[in-house]
């Protein structure tokens, strides 16, 4: 499995959220109460996201179970079964099992297989609709698909012969591989078919062992789905070949600056990991996958700072990775002598070396280093420590600036001797901040770097952000009160009356009028100063809540490869603008949508190598993910150089599904045709695979863009590629809006979507009156607001246009979230709530 702290932290948080969402929706379902409509869509997306996250981390058990539930809910979306009774019971049983699998995977960083009986139960629900429950309310698990089981048994019988192709070409084995590939295609298993064909093509060459490893992974998946052994366990014993651990360890040693570049190193590590999988060398496979991941993320500034330190540790792990991974020494997995902060991060090999060092009389030390202070200085410290100490592992300290790294080292030398050696290389202690015994609790306290860094609990930062939002709301209320014309009119009226009166009363009124004007001027000046200070406070608070967008991009290359490899496609992922700062709340909103865009691009947009060569393109496709800061906004773009969007195909599928009538089809513009891609449940895929044909992805992306107050744009040229562009505000906490009045009630429209405001009944174009759509009595149209929607401009009829304003966004109640055309809820400066309307949803209703 991948050893990447950021990925594991994201997986732990997101998977728990998805499971909580599923359980909440299913808890009230029964024979009489069904989950319907948007609830089914939400369940489907949650299981789809769980499957994708588990697949990225290599948690095949969770992936298979979530995949089965996704299939079941796909039938529910199509109206072929109801989510209640036995179906709801089965899904709830899957949630309980997924929670247990999740806990085990997070604790051990090892895959945990799904219960075959539960997989069969979910499959039976898919095949039979809602089966009759047995006594006790449970549903009997039917037998697995006999055809899939028979095919898995056939693969198991041929596994040893297929593994022999790693040693040389054998005509009987080649013929069997060809037959199995044909059978896999008939059973709609294109990834497995491509795996058989790739092994046959590489037979007898150095590429055969990696191809065999990739096939073994696919056979393991087949076995889990079929409930029958498919031969994955038989391959290591019959495979021939070795993995050049020495060469790969040397490559890892130079991770910071590899001779051929990081892309070449990632490819080498990927091939080595596949070869290790074929030989059953799990520890070596994990180490090489970690090396590949780090090489892939070398462009990320946060990861780049760790390359020099992680390289030697990975090199050691690769050198010491035995054939199948030796069993850990007794007690090493929970050795109290190893610092608890390092224990879960160390590989089995590292724990063994730590235990061996302790048994031989060595001591453990923790060295804290400040990264980014110069490669020469960092290398000097490493050279000074290396003769005296062995590096066992490393960990980064989250939230530190500059980045801080802690090294766990073993040495027979005394602390003073180690400290003198390090000080000789770094007299000013710019890099080596501290060196202390591991058992000293103070060594694990946060570092103090003068006034440069300070560790603050996350809840404290969240409290500051919340308080700042409340102060800003009070400031908006004050500004709105000062803009009111009534006080000014009253003061002016007093001045007029004072001029008409003689004597003491007139003089007193004049004096009173002057005082009120002075008071109003002072209030306006104070409000101006407050607004200026709040703008500076906004900028300071933004620094607390922003993170580099590279943290969001880090896992995308691996996701792209995970989708491309089973389909036999080749793709290179280029990440740009990873240093761009983005609101943390936007990262949470965009995580799943970006994964969907990547999967969509690889699965639908990018062609197989043969098709690309025929079109005059390089066989390896280019997938570019970029971020850029624009005036008041962030732009995130995912583009590929694939086949592009074929409008005729999209339109034909829309007509077939009843989304467009045959009479309407000829009149649709390209923008309106592309807007069909974002309809829930729409897909152009003709067959259902792990990543396509399910109608999930693009509607998720559009929903996320709307909730963030941004827009999603698509541009495509047939044969040349497609790009999806997200334009998002700098923060998801506030949004600039245009306030309009409908039937006497205020509503808000996002200013980023407004194209024009017209008086009266507009310029003659068709007008969509808002009042009937909102369930309000119709009134004469006083103004028309032209807004952009995915299908083109839409003219909205309102009573009148009030003004522009900034609103504070608040969580949207689930009942409101289901209403078409409602994009959010905000709070005006005077504290009154206002609904934020979404032009796309309004256009769809009209």
Instruction: State which CATH number among 2.30.30.40, 3.40.190.10, 3.40.50.10860, 2.70.98.10 fits the domain covering 734-845.
Output: 2.30.30.40
For residue 129, is pLDDT > 60? no
C-alpha 235/C-alpha 213 separation (Å) is 9
- Mean per-residue pLDDT for 95-103? 89
Give per-residue pLDDT as tens, 240-259: 888 888 888 888 777 777 77
How many whole angstroms separate alpha carbon 560 and alpha carbon 594?
Answer: 11
Angle, helices 146-163 vs 171-186, to 10°: value is 150
pLDDT digit string, tens, across residues 772-784: 888 888 888 888 8
Question: If you average pLDDT over residues 64-83, what whole number do you get?
Answer: 80
CB crowding 153-181: b at 16 or more within 10 Å, else e: ebbbebbebbbbbbeeebeebbebbeebb
Instruction: Report residue 639 as tokens.
Output: 């583009």
Which tops the pLDDT comparison, 693 or 11? 11
Above 60 in pLDDT, residue 376?
yes
Residue 515: pLDDT band with limits 50, 70, 90: confident
Q: Which residue has the tokens 């991941």?
A: 293
Residue owning tokens 């001045």 = 495
pLDDT at 669: 75
Element (H, E) at 600: helix 584-600
pLDDT band of residue 790 (cuts 50, 70, 90) is low
Per CATH, the number for 552-729 is 3.30.565.10
pLDDT on residue 845: 56
pLDDT tens digit sequence for 623-661: 999 888 765 678 889 999 998 888 888 888 878 777 778
**pLDDT for res 844:** 61
Q: C-alpha distances in angstroms, 515 versus 227, 521, 529?
A: 87, 10, 21
- Cβ(549)–Cβ(586) below 8 Å: no
Q: Where exactly are the structural domains of the chain? A: 5-128, 147-238, 242-323, 330-444, 458-547, 552-729, 734-845
Residue 176 has pLDDT above 70, yes or no: yes
Question: 139 or 77: which carries more pLDDT confidence?
Answer: 77
381 or 32, higher pLDDT: 381
Phi, psi of 533 (to 5 degrees): -65, -35
**For the chain, how many residues are written?**
846
DSSP state of 328: P
* Helix (H) or strand (E) segment spanning residue 536: helix 503-545
Range with lowest mean pLDDT among 24-38, 198-212, 558-572: 24-38
What is the band of 843 on the pLDDT scale with cuts at 50, 70, 90? low
> What architecture is the 330-444 domain classified under in CATH?
2-Layer Sandwich (3.30)
CA R_g for the chain: 31
Q: How far apart are CA 791 and CA 659, in angstroms?
A: 13
Angle ∠(102,108,109) on CA atoms, nearest 5: 75
| Side-by-side strand order, sheet with 767-769 | 754-759, 783-789, 792-798, 767-769
pLDDT tens-digit map of 734-767: 677 888 888 888 888 888 778 888 887 777 788 8
What band does 131 get if pLDDT is binned at 50, 70 and 90? Answer: very low
Rounded to 5 degrees, φ, ψ at 184 are: -65, -40
Question: CATH for 5-128?
Answer: 1.20.120.160
């Amino acid at each position: 499995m991948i050893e990447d702290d950021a990925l594991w932290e994201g997986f732990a948080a997101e998977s728990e959220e998805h499971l909580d969402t599923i359980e909440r929706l299913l808890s009230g379902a029964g024979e009489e109460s069904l989950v319907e409509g948007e609830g089914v869509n939400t369940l489907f997306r949650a299981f789809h996201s769980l499957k994708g996250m588990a697949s990225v981390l290599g948690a095949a058990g969770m992936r298979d179970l979530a995949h089965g539930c996704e299939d079941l809910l796909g039938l529910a979306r199509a109206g072929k079964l109801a989510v209640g009774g036995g179906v709801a019971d089965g899904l709830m049983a899957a949630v309980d099992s997924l929670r247990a699998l999740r806990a085990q995977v997070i604790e051990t960083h090892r895959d945990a297989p799904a219960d075959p009986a539960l997989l069969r139960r979910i499959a039976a629900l898919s095949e039979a609709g809602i089966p009759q429950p047995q006594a006790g309310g449970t549903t009997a698990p039917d037998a697995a698909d006999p055809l899939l089981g028979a095919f898995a048994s056939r693969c198991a019988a041929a596994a040893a012969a297929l593994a022999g192709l790693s040693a040389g070409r054998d005509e009987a084995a080649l013929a069997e591989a060809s037959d199995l590939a044909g059978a896999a295609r008939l059973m709609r298993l294109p990834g497995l078919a491509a795996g058989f064909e790739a092994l046959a093509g590489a037979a007898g060459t150095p590429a055969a062992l990696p191809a065999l490893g990739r096939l073994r992974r696919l056979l393991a998946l087949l076995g889990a789905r079929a409930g029958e052994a498919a031969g994955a366990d038989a391959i290591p014993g019959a495979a021939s070949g070795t993995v050049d651990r020495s060469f790969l360890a040397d490559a890892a040693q130079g991770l910071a600056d590899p001779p051929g570049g990081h892309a070449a190193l990632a490819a080498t590590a990927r091939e080595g990991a596949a070869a290790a999988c074929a030989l059953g060398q799990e520890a070596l496979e994990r180490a090489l996958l970690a090396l590949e991941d780090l090489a892939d993320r070398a462009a990320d500034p946060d990861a780049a700072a760790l390359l020099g330190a992680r390289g030697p540790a990975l090199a050691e792990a690769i050198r010491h990775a035995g054939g199948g991974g030796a069993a850990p020494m007794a007690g090493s997995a929970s050795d109290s002598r190893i610092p608890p902060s390092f224990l879960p991060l160390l590989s089995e090999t590292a724990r063994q070396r730590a235990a061996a060092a302790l048994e031989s009389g060595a001591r453990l030390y923790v060295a804290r280093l400040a990264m980014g202070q110069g490669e020469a200085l960092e290398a000097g410290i490493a050279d000074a420590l290396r003769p005296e100490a062995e590096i066992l592992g490393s960990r980064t300290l989250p939230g530190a600036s500059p980045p801080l790294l802690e090294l766990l080292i073993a040495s027979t030398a005394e602390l003073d001797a180690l400290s003198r050696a390090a000080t000789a290389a770094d007299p000013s202690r710019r890099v080596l901040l501290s060196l202390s015994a591991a058992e000293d609790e103070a060594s694990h306290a946060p570092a103090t770097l003068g006034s440069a860094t300070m560790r603050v609990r996350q809840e404290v930062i969240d409290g500051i952000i919340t308080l700042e939002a409340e102060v800003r709301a009070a400031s908006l209320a004050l500004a709105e009160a000062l803009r009111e014309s009534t006080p000014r009119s009253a003061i002016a009226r007093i001045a007029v009356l004072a001029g008409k009166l003689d004597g003491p009363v007139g003089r007193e009124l004049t004096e009173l009028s002057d005082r009120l004007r002075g008071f109003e001027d002072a209030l306006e000046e104070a409000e101006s100063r407050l607004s200026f200070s709040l703008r500076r406070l906004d900028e300071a608070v933004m620094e607390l809540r922003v993170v580099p967008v590279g943290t969001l991009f880090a896992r995308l290359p691996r996701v792209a490869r995970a989708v491309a490899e089973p389909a036999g496609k080749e793709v290179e992922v280029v990440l740009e603008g990873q240093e761009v700062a983005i609101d943390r709340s936007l990262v949470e909103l965009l995580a799943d949508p970006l994964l969907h865009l990547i999967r969509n691009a690889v699965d639908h947009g990018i062609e197989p190598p043969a098709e690309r060569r025929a079109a005059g393109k390089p066989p390896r496709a280019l997938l570019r993910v970029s971020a850029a800061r624009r005036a008041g906004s962030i732009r995130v773009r995912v583009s590929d150089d694939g086949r592009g969007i074929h409008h005729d195909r999209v339109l034909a599928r829309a007509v077939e599904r009843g989304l467009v009538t045959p009479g309407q089809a000829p009149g649709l513009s390209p923008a309106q045709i592309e807007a069909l891609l974002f309809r829930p449940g729409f897909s152009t895929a003709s067959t259902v695979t792990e990543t396509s044909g399910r109608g999930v992805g693009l509607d998720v992306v559009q929903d996320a863009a709307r909730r963030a107050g941004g827009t999603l744009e698509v541009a495509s040229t047939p044969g040349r590629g497609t790009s999806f562009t997200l334009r998002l505000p700098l923060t998801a906490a506030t949004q600039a809006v245009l306030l309009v009045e409908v039937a006497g009630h205020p509503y808000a429209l996002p200013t980023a979507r407004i194209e024009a405001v017209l008086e009266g009944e507009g310029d003659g174009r068709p007008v969509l009156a808002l009042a009937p759509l909102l369930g309000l009595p119709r009134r004469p149209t006083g103004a028309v607001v032209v807004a952009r929607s995915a299908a083109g401009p839409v003219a909205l009829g309102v009573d009148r246009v009030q003004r522009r304003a900034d609103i504070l966004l608040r969580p949207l109640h689930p009942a409101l979230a289901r209403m078409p055309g409602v994009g959010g809820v905000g709070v005006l400066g005077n504290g009154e709530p206002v609904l934020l309307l979404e032009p796309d949803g309004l256009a769809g209703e009209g």
